[in-house]
Amino acid sequence: VQLQACGGGLVQTGDSLRLSCTTPGRAVSLYTYTVGWFRQAPGKDREFVIAVRRSGGSTAYADSVKGRFTISRDNAKNTVYLQMNSLKPEDTAVYYCAATKNVQLRTPELYLYWGQGTHVTVSS
């Protein structure tokens, strides 16, 4: 089962983007999973960005995005959104959404389902 991430693009510093994560044919009910976003810049390891827990909806953020990025769910649409504001060139990366039922949400190896990635490029 694959997730679908979309919404990336080329923007300028200070702009906003909203990424979406869903599953084709509702193969996975995302509201039953903790959903996280990770990113990977060229030449770097995949890093945790943000996640929303399946129970209670609490969120966790990487320090680098706190105050700029938010995550939300639309259960009716089986979609999780990543709202990115005040984008910086260092946010440039391929962004991946993933789903897990593990309580550890910052470790990519513990995620069960992954999307194909969507490119975000922030120009200075």
Give the pLDDT of residue 26. 79
30: helix, strand or coil: helix
Give the pLDDT of residue 55. 78
pLDDT in tens, the chain (124 residues): 689 999 999 999 999 999 999 998 878 899 999 999 999 999 999 999 999 998 778 999 999 999 999 999 999 999 999 999 999 999 999 999 999 999 899 999 999 999 999 999 999 9
Q: Report which residue type is found at 103.
A: V
Is residue 9 within 8 A of residue 122, CB to CB? The reply is: no
Cα–Cα nearest to 66, from 44, 89, 86: 86
The CA distance from 88 to 4, in Å, is 24
Give the pLDDT of residue 1. 64
Give the pLDDT of residue 109. 95
